[in-house]
Amino acid sequence: MGTAMVTGASAGLGLEFAWQLATARHDVVLVARDGERLHRLAGQIEAAAGVRTEVIVADLSDRDQIEPLVERLQHPIRPVGLLVNNAGFGIAQPFVGGDLAREEVALDVMVRAVLVLSHAAAGAMVQRRRGAILNVASIAALLASGTYSAHKAWVRAFTEGLAVELRGTGVTATALCPGFVHTEFHERGGIDVAAFPSASFLNPEDVVAAALADVRRGAVISTPSLRYKLAAGSARMAPRWAIRAVGRYRRELGRGHGAPGGATAWSAHDERTA
């Protein structure tokens, strides 16, 4: 029991994290841009699970709007025991010729916000000598899928480094690296899911349950499902020229199946737009 903060809580994996944490009797701090959806969710969770909820409406690409989250994570009286850095979105454009402003927003949401919030949470948690940080990365971190892969590779590497630094403090850091998940991500990214085998998709309930179980046992990398564990192992062992070849194939596949600019990001979430 305790309090968990979930960014990108109004849709996709963030929504599932909020519900599973609440049904496990954790109070939840819900963060997203859509205040109406957040307040509706907060009411539903309180009625169904009987826990306390807090709503913080924030655009994580805006440094000023992150400050209330930093202050909440550092609150001395009402500690946050679990931070779930989940907010993110598919860029859905090529880098060359794409909108640079959109790339900068993606960098702010999926890299800088993770850095800032993890720093605030880790500092407060280490002082209490307990807590956990769960950063949502992706199996894309091991691939060559444009700047989305680069952002998620940073999240994975950052979380591993943070876990090393936190060893012995009572605080843990875990990177969640899922593959395809049935969420709103693909619809919002203009990606035709029919282009991919149905067996490649995971249920969000299973992904979140596996992630929270890995957090409880202090795992540094969480890769839900045997199929994606095998895929991740293959990607780590494969020569980088082979990984780049897969990236080229997926780019061409995306162009034929409705992904703008050939973008077919491997992702579990698209919560910034919610």
Tell me if residue 228 is catalytic. Answer: no
Alpha-carbon gap, residue 229 to 244, rounded angstroms? 20
CA 135 to chain centre: 6
What Å distances lie between residue 152 and 10, 125, 188, 244, CA to CA?
Answer: 21, 24, 19, 16
In the set 148, 228, 229, 249, the catalytic residue is: 148
In the set 152, 228, 229, 249, the catalytic residue is: 152
Contact between 8 and 30 (Cβ < 8 Å)? no
Which tokens sit at 83?
């931070």
Rg (CA), the chain: 18
Name, in order, each residue with C-beta under 8 angstroms of 70's C-beta and a sequence gap of 6 or more: 116, 117, 120
Tell me if residue 229 is catalytic. Answer: no
Q: Looking at the annotation, which residues are catalytic?
A: 148, 152
